[in-house]
Each structure stands twice: as structure tokens, then as C-alpha cells.
Chains A and B, each alone.
Chain A
Amino acid sequence: MIGEWLDIGWLGEIPVRGSRTVPVDGGEEIAVFRTGDDQVFALVNRCPHKGGPLSQGIVHGHSVACPLHNWNIALATGQAQGDDKGCTPVIPVKVSGGRVLICRAGVLQAAA
């Protein structure tokens, strides 16, 4: 039984202040981020500005700076910060026993 949460790997596989990607067949790639205080967030790997791959940005605090034009996206909400407007879908994620789990419904929604 896989249930509501999908196991995508060990937390240790994601660099601190970095991210890893999870492609979804027929759907949008997901970026899973790990912050300096060891929290994990997942967003669709697409910047609301011009689609930059957020997974490749610099993670600082609970934000990521997009690698293309340096928009800052809040990891918890997907909202662009400061004067910029736009939002990236958020996928629920949690860590349990050192394993990173993402929400199946969230993945499917992003895939849709």
C-alpha cells in the first residue's frame, strides 16, 4: 500500500540549501528543496515569471532566487516576493523517518 504519500528518497540526498528534481510523466517536473534549517518544500519546477527552473536557483531562508532573472519565490506558498507578481503551485511534502514523502494528490494535480 503506497497510500497518500509517495516516498521519493532520503532527505540526505538533497543538498542543504539546494534542491533535487522529480520528473513526472506527462506532467510538470517537481523541485524538492531543502533549506538551511532543514525543512523541505516542493514546488512545480517552473518560475511564474518566464518558466525558469527554480530547482537551479539559490536557496536562501525559505525562498529560492530563480536562476534566470532572480525573482524570489517563497517556498512555502510559491508566491513571488517583493514587487513581483505570480505564483508557482506548491506540492505538499513531509519528512518521515528520514524519507521524503510527497503528496500523491498534489503530484497528480500538478500533472493534470
Chain B
Amino acid sequence: MNFQPGTIGEGAAAADPRPHLVVVGNGMAGCRAVEELLARDPHRYRVTIFGAESHVNYNRIMLSPVLAGEKTFDEIVINDAAWYRDNQIELVSSDPVIAINRAGRTVTSRSGRTLGYDKLLIATGSDPFIIPVPGKDLPGVISFRDMNDVDAMLAAAGKGGDAVVIGGGLLGLEAAHGLTLRGMKVTVLHLMPTLMERQLDEAAGWLLKSALEARGQTILTGADTAEILGTDAVEGVRLKDGSVIPASLVVMAVGIRPSTALAREAGLAVGRGIQVDDHMVTSDADVLAVGECVEHAGQVYGLVAPLWEMCRALADGLVEKHSGYTGSVTSTKLKVSGIDVFSAGDFSGGDGAEDIVLRDASRGVYKRVVVKDDRIVGAVLYGDTGDGGWYFDLLKRQEDVSQLRDMLIFGQAFAQGGGAADPKAAVAALSDDAEICGCNGVTKGQVVGCIEKGACSLDAVRAGCKASASCGSCTGLVENLLAVTLGDAVQAGPKTMCRCTSFGHDDIRREIVAQGMRSIPEVMQMLHWSTPDGCSSCRPALNYYLLCALPGDYVDDQQSRFVNERMHANIQKDGTYSVVPRMWGGLTNPTELRAIADVVEKFNAPMVKVTGGQRLDIFGIRKEDLPAVWADLNAAGMVSGHAYGKSLRTVKTCVGSEWCRFGTQDSTGLGVKLERGFWGSWMPHKFKMAVSGCPRNCAEATIKDFGVVCVDSGYELHVGGNGGIHVRATDLLVKVTTETEAMHYAAAFVQLYREEARYLERTAPWIERVGLQHIKDRVVEDVEGRDALAARFWHSQTFSQEDPWAERVAGAAREQHAHMAAFKPLAVEEMA
């Protein structure tokens, strides 16, 4: 993405009238600030970002895992080239800004390019501190700051040999760890008596030192570097006490300094860092600064969490919303696999501070919590850092811990739950602004928000709010949050479809349509199913969703249907089947009755029963005989009644105006029309209709999925009734005046149910879940939407009104009925 000289500030820029925001620094803070801005108002500024590095925006703190070989560079990219493109951000990489002209409001880059700005954001981060000893400029002496440094270390490690890491802080130890894993013999030189003395107390530092030595590193504390030896390249390090350590690579990781040169030369107020106010504005109102290069209220920060808070305040300011940054308390974790170290706040003790310490030598656990005036002021954890987030949260909130004091050191589960070590209860108890993901600065509130917006898997949370998307040390917390959040919302919110997936029904349906998926294996592949081919819960659901989404196109998967639908008959407890032929609107005639009687006799059916839906049910048919039964019924003009299916079953009617003295309309006639129009349509669950000729309601239309009650002035359309385990009377959807309208609304309603209800959800729970108003909005208020729904329904019906019995009689899927082979064991014996 390098620019050719002379292209900048012309062309596209001239055509873009928006104020120009120029960002110096394509690092963590600079890009995050832009992300925050885009989230608030994607169109307000035209954005150009200058980066000294040749890369897109990556997660700098993950350089340690890259060095250790636990991640690749691609895995730590935060925003790839497509992000810049999609957001119309110009990225000028490998071209650092070398001067700012505040009077002319321009910046100039090393390649000589000058570019005007309306707002300038400086996010230049830090420069590594190089101790001024002889030999510091020799080839083979590097810092640990960016991807180039990692590449240099990897090149050196490829040759093997000795490495010296100067600095036993967070960065130095992570470098030493990576180099050790890459096969180098590593010596760590640390000036202070204990490692990570700014984060760890002596005891924890000592534990850490022993653990690292056990991994083969040499740790020299109290080691003061005098000189780096070598002529053309590094050969070793000499300490002030005279000892010499051979080395072909020296990594300097002794500290960082805010990168302020550019700002200083431009005349901005600079202390230890570039001075900013609560909205990250520098001494020049049009110049902002954010990240490690700034000084806020006398503080500079060297960790990412505070940067995120700064970026939020900055973006709010840029869109004229005033929140403001008020400083941060920080915590640290060491990213050395297998060694858990956590520290937060101030643990130096001092007046009135009390220490609560727990040591468990055999488990290698050390915990220390520093309490002052009943508030936690610091914590150091070694070996078991699971409660780090909780201590840090109590610390930030300045919570009074006097009640918890006795049990504080045993951790959250113990202190709050009386011993039940339930990690879910632990995350549930965290406050909303407790930090979950340090790498990406995501709080519990943000993760929960993301889950509530529909992310119901780890991947979805990672994609949605980035929590756990980097080093992964917070994955357990995120998983517990998922469990806690979705667990609470089991009735209301999205629940996963089954154990094969972490997505809920609604997500899956949406993705099927959005991504145009066309088969069950494709859905399972794209949505990361955890089983090879699903289970008996998800397969029928997916089959239905695809069928509904792609009428006429999708090839039904027989093996993903429950036996009843596969056999087009109802399985009974003895393994035989019952068969229900369709009787339109509940009407029949002598031919049909005769055919049924003949079938009963011919196949010795032990029972015939009138169903609740006014049809005749023939029991006790063997699987092998089903095709013959259907053939006989088909011959008399009868088709499958779908009494076995998640589909339209029956339309119950009364006799209405034709015979009944109360009847207001032809309820029987309308019932027949409905059944002829709607039969064969697959649904999320079984679906029943009824039409009553007057409010006496002899057809019990008000406990059906769709019921019509005829009245003098027309037709009342009712929905969501259910006579099942939980009896539910219908809600009145609308009143219409003609049969045609009644049919039209019915089609729209059915299609809405087909498209939006979850598989195996009948209309009653569906309506209670989404609310009647939603259905009215879609089917009654929205005229165009109603027409579109109905059109989709009738389109789908052109494919679904094939009698499955007739297809089988014609020979389809014959193997479903015939035995594969048969044995007579005695004969077999004889043959043998």
C-alpha cells in the first residue's frame, strides 16, 4: 500500500470535502482511535494514517507469542488491508512523518511528501531505551519493539548459539522465553536483585526466577552491563564485575521512552510525554495525541488497557460528545506459557498497608493482596492467577473489603460463595467495567453486550468485540460469560441449537440466507459444527431451514428427517404405522369410505379411528405394506394427510351456512379451499387450521394455529391457538370481509411462521416469544410485506404439493420399505 510520491492530497482528496484527519503512527493506539471514531461516525472524517513500519495494524503485545512460535504474524493482524480499503482509509506505510508544520497545518514525511490536515493525531508510541554502553550499535544488538525486531531475533535464533537479554522485566522475560523455545542458550541480565521488580514483590520474583532457571535459562540478577563486545558483530557482554558472557545476539529490553521528538520539534507541550488534556487534546487544539507517547495528569503508560480508555475519550471528543479520560490503574500478566504471573496496583506496602499472604509451596502458588483502609491497593499472584480479575476489579472500584477480609486471599469463589468454587458465579459477580480481555481492552459489559446482540459462541464473541481474540488467556472467562449470559436467557434469548454448534436457531437461519448456503454439510462446515454429521436435533432443523429458504432448489435430505416424515406415516409403539388419508375440510364420500374399508380388510388393520381433526386413521400397518396401502388409497383419489409431518395437517370445519341454522358463511367451503391451498407445505412444527361458521365455534377454531370464525360481516382471523399440553386460545389477528382476503392473510401468516419460527416451535410459543404486535406489524400493518410474504408462500407451494404417497407408490425410495435380505437360519446352517 505504498504511495507514489505526489499522489497524496490530490485526486480522491480533492473530491472529498470532509475534514481531513491525519494519524501519525499505525500502531495499537492510532488504529484503535480510528476504529472508535468509525464506530461513532463512520463518515465524519477523511482519514490518512502514516506508519513507519511496513505492516498493516497488528497486535503488538502478541509479538511475544510470535517470537515463541505460538502464533504467526497473520494471526496477530488486527486490521487487514481490506479494513483500510472498506473504510476508505489511506495507509501510508514505511514512510514516517518527520515534521509537523502547525502554522500551515501540514505534515511532511521522510519521502518528502507534504499533506494538509484539519485534525492531526499523534500516536507514535514509544522508543526502546538503549543503554549507552560501548558496542551498543554493533550488528546483533536489537530491541524488542516491532515485527522487524522479531524477524531479526528469528534469523539469529536460526543459527543457534548464545543470546543475552538485558532486562528482566516483562518484555525481557518474554524475549528470553521465545529465544529459549527457538533453541538458543539464553542468559538474562537484570540490574535489580529480583526479576520484574516493578510488578512483583521479592517472593514472587524469586519463584519466577527458579521457574525460569528450571527451563534452562541463566538468570543473573544484580548484573550491570559495562560493554558489548565485538568488532564486526556482537560477540559477548562484559559486566562491571569483569565477567564475560558470550553472545551472538543481544536483546535490549530495559525500558521504553515515549516517542516525543516529533511533537517537541513542532513546539507542542511535552513533559515526559506529549501533554494532553482529558480529551487527548495537546497544547494545540487541532492536534491530538494518544497512546504510549502521551502524558496525562503527570502519568505515562506502557500497557494497552489505558490506551483503550484514552481512545474512547478521544473519539467521543472528535464527534463532540464529551466523556473524558480520567487516568487508569493497570495490571500486568506475563505471557510466558506455563508460568502464571499477575500483578496490579501498588504492592510496595508503606504506612497503614497490610499484607495478606498465602504460600503453598507444594503447588508453587504465592498470593499477596495489599489492603489499606479496607480497600485493596495492590495484588501479586504467582502460580494461580485465576482471581486476578476479581482483585483488580475490587481495586479499581475501591470496594470496601472489610467483610471479606478473612477469606479474601482464598479467592472469589471462597470469599463470596462459601467454598463453592464455581467459576461461573465468579464472572457473574464481576462488575460491568471489569476488564475481561487485557489484550484488546474489552470489559465485561462489552462482552455481555456482544453476547446479547446475538453472539452465542466463542468465535462470535471474538469476531464481535475481540475479547479473547488475541493471546487467549481470557478464553475461560469469556466462555463462562457466555454460559452465564445465555444461561439466564434460556427462555428469552438465543440458545444454541444443539450440542453440535454454538449458534442459536435464529443465527443459523440468518446465516443460511445471508451466506447463501445450500446444503446441510455446507452449513456444518461454514458454521464450525463440532460433530461430523450433526445429531437428531440439528439435522431435521437444518433440513427444514434449507427447504424453507430454497423452495424448489434444495434437495430434501431423507436421512435428516424423523421416521414419520421419512415413512410418510406415523410410527406407533409396536413399530407399525398408522395412515391418515386427506379428507378435504373433513368431508368424505362413499368411494373414499369404501377404499378405506377395503384397505382395513385387506391389510388386517386392527383399528380405524376418527381423529380430533375429523379424519380417519388406519392403524397397524407394517412398513413393508405401506406402499401397497397408499396405492389403494391413491386409486380412490385420496392423498396423504400429512398427519405425520411438520406441515399442514388438517382444516377442521363445521357445517356453516349450508346446513346450520346459525351459520353465517360457508365455513365448510372455506375450509376445503384452505386445505387445498395449504396442504403439503412444510412448517417448523405441525400446523392445524379450523373454520367455524359462527361464534358458537363448533370447529374449535380458537385453539388452532390458524382459525377462522365467520361472522355476519365477514371473517375473524385468529392465530396462535393450541390444544396441546398448554392450552392456549388464539389471538385475534384481523377481521376481513371476503374469503379471498382470508386466504391472502392466511398465506402471509403461514409464511411468516415458516420463515421466522424456530424448528419445533409451534405458533403458540412463537407468538408469545415474538409478541402479537410483531405479527400484526408484519401481516396486517405492512401491506407490501404481507403481499411479499404471501407471494413467497404461493411460490413455495408450487413445489411442495406433490403427494408423497404417490411418489413412493411410483417407486421412489423403495429401499425404505423393502428388506435388504432375509435369512432362514436353518437353511443357512444346511448350506454351510
Binding site for B on A (CB under 8 A): 2-3, 6, 8-9, 13-18, 20-27, 32, 36-37, 50-53, 56-61, 65, 67-68, 70, 72, 100, 104, 107-108, 111
Contacts and interface: CB of A to CB of B under 8 A. Distances in A.
Contacts of A100: 820
Nearest to A25: B824
B819 A61 contact: no
B828 A6 contact: yes
Given A20-B820, A21-B820, A50-B573, A27 B825 contact: yes
A52 B822 contact: no
B420 interface: no
B540 A25 contact: no
A53 B822 contact: no
B821 A17 contact: no
Nearest to B820: A20
A36 B521 CA distance: 11
Contacts of A20: 815, 819-820
A18 B536 contact: no
Contacts of B531: 60-61
Nearest to B813: A15
A23 B831 CA distance: 18
A104 B821 CA distance: 14
Contacts of A108: 825, 828-829
A60 to B, nearest CB: 5
A100 B820 CA distance: 10
B575 A37 contact: no
Given A20-B819, A51-B574, A70-B536, 19 more contacts: A6-B823, A13-B820, A15-B815, A17-B533, A21-B819, A22-B822, A23-B823, A24-B824, A25-B826, A26-B825, A27-B825, A50-B573, A53-B571, A56-B563, A58-B540, A58-B561, A60-B531, A61-B535, A67-B564
B827 to A, nearest CB: 8
A10 B679 CA distance: 38
A67 B562 CA distance: 7
Contact of B558 (A14, A15, A107): A15
A8 B559 contact: no
A21 B345 CA distance: 70
A52 B539 CA distance: 20
A37 B532 CA distance: 9
A24 B823 contact: yes
Given A26-B825, A36-B533, A60-B535, A68 B571 contact: yes
B103 interface: no
B832 A2 contact: yes
B254 interface: no
A83 to B, nearest CB: 14
A31 to B, nearest CB: 10
A58 B824 CA distance: 28
A108 B826 CA distance: 9
Interface of B: 531-536, 539-540, 558-564, 566-567, 571, 573-575, 623, 815, 819-826, 828-829, 831-832
Interface centre among B571, B573, B821, B825 (most CB of A within 10 A): B821
6 contacts: A9-B820, A24-B825, A58-B535, A58-B562, A59-B559, A60-B533
A23 B822 contact: yes
Contacts of A104: 828, 832
A2 B828 contact: yes
B578 to A, nearest CB: 14
Contacts of B575: 51-53, 56
A53 B49 CA distance: 67
A15 B563 contact: no
Contacts of A25: 822-826
A86 B817 CA distance: 28
A100 to B, nearest CB: 8
A27 B823 CA distance: 9
Contacts of B562: 58, 67
Contacts of A9: 820-821
A17 to B, nearest CB: 4
Nearest to A45: B575
A107 B559 contact: no
A60 B571 contact: no
Contact of A60 (B539, B564, B819, B821): B539
Contact of B539 (A58, A72, A107): A58
B540 to A, nearest CB: 7
A37 B820 CA distance: 20
7 pairs of A and B residues whose beta carbons are closest in the complex = A65-B536, A20-B820, A67-B563, A17-B559, A8-B821, A58-B536, A36-B533
A65 B574 CA distance: 17
A6 B540 CA distance: 34
B536 A60 contact: yes
A25 B819 CA distance: 13
Nearest to B827: A25
A52 B623 CA distance: 13
B571 A58 contact: no
Contacts of B560: 17, 58
A74 to B, nearest CB: 13
A65 B558 CA distance: 15
Given A8-B820, A23-B822, A108-B825, A15 B559 contact: yes
Interface centre among B533, B558, B826 (most CB of A within 10 A): B533
A60 B534 contact: yes
Contacts of A68: 571, 573
B822 A18 contact: no
A37 B825 CA distance: 31
B21 to A, nearest CB: 54
Contacts of B567: 56
A22 B531 CA distance: 29
A65 B534 CA distance: 12
A21 B692 CA distance: 46
Contacts of B532: 36-37, 61
Nearest to B566: A56
Contact of B559 (A18, A24, A53): A18
Interface centre among B559, B560, B561, B831 (most CB of A within 10 A): B559
Nearest to B571: A67
Contacts of B566: 56
Interface centre among A2, A18, A20, A56 (most CB of B within 10 A): A56
Nearest to B574: A51
